[in-house]
Amino acid sequence: MNAKTSKPQIPAGRLQSLDALRGFDMFFIMGGAGLLAALATWFPCGFTEALAAQMDHVEWHGLAHHDTIFPLFLFIAGISFPFSLSKQRGNGKTEAAIIRKIIRRGVTLVLLGLLYNGLLGHLNFAEARYASVLARIGLAWMFGALIFMHTSWKVRVWITAFLLIGYWLLVGFIPAPDAGGADIYSAQGSLVGYVDRILLPGRIYYGNIDPEGILGLIPAIGTALLGMFTGEWVKRKDISENKKVIGMVIAGIVWLVIGLLWSTVFPINKKMWTSTFVLVVAAYSILMFALFYWIIDVKNCRGWILFFTVIGMNSITIYLAQAFINFSYTARKLFGGLIALMPENSQDFFTQAAYVAVCWLFLYFLYRKRVFLKV
């Protein structure tokens, strides 16, 4: 933790677009998805119902906006690393010290994932869930960062391709030994679920497959590396800002086309973190970053970003806090009476809005006090 009481200052050279995009991403976890979904109750129509449908995960194959939140966060972590690495090297930190910090961060996120899953709340190690969103982020970023440190960009291209194609060859051509004739891309029939069932300790989230399980870590490293390629591109000093944006747009289109064509034989599936899922969501991620980067860091249009920046600079904080702090109780105590006066079909919307407001004010207090949880 870093706690100071002066007015918050954003460090010179920091990509404000990255903080804003991270905040935009986490907004949906912080109640934004429920807020937008509630519009369909208040103003039912084709548009709001379609929007509400995007605020939840797809059941199996396919993609909705809610499926992009997790990989976008990992992609953003990847973008940050080339800048962090350069800064650490510039400050004279040894390679060994940097490696220790990378590993410590990865392990810390795994431990925080266990805490989030409630391990200490019941101490039932046999029934605990060991896989988690934070563990997937920590391990995928850690391995990606170690690869980034020790290879050239050309070697990293080959490694990323190997990870994504190799994962397809494993999952697409080797059925689970206990599949019993089930579809090779189903939870029961896939090698992904099988590896979880035989190797993952404790409780498996869906019983026969865990969305943050063991084998899915392979392509998730690819997600982190694609983010690191993006950060390395933006960090370059020999090309103009506009060319950087154009390059990112081109990369996004190429990844999207490859991912969609590949999906005809390898379905887009978040729970298995398929290689096509990696490419399609990486396309979304880089295009969103290109947009935020162009508006905020190139065009210097920043008057609107405070709301998202406050969330983005304490993203891990709000993710963990929602598991341990009853923000809903506080929202009801502060706004319950006013919400009860609203038309019945709008009350769900205002309940969600109150929750978002309480979470944001909590983060804004930390932001003003310069208290940021850094892992």
The per-residue pLDDT for range 10-28, each reduced to its tens digit, is: 554 579 999 999 999 999 9
Q: Tell me the CA end-to-end span of the chain in Å, nearest whole number.
A: 9
Determine the average pLDDT of the residues in 115-131.
90
pLDDT score recorded for residue 234: 97
**Dist. CA 106–CA 226, nearest whole Å:** 18
**What is the model's pLDDT at position 14?**
75
Residue 230, SS3? helix
pTM: 0.94
Nearest to residue 29, comparing CAs of 290, 308, 278? 308
Domain ranges for the chain, please list them: 16-348
**pLDDT at position 374:** 85
For the chain, give the percent of residues with pLDDT over 70: 97
Render pLDDT for 265-317 as a digit per residue (tens, 0 to 9): 999 999 999 999 999 999 999 999 999 999 999 999 999 999 999 999 999 99
Residue 165 has pLDDT above 80, yes or no: yes
Mean pLDDT of 331-353: 96
How far, in Å, CA of 127 to CA of 202, rounded?
A: 5
pLDDT tens digits, residue range 174-193? 999 998 889 999 999 999 99
- Tokens 């994932």, residue? 113
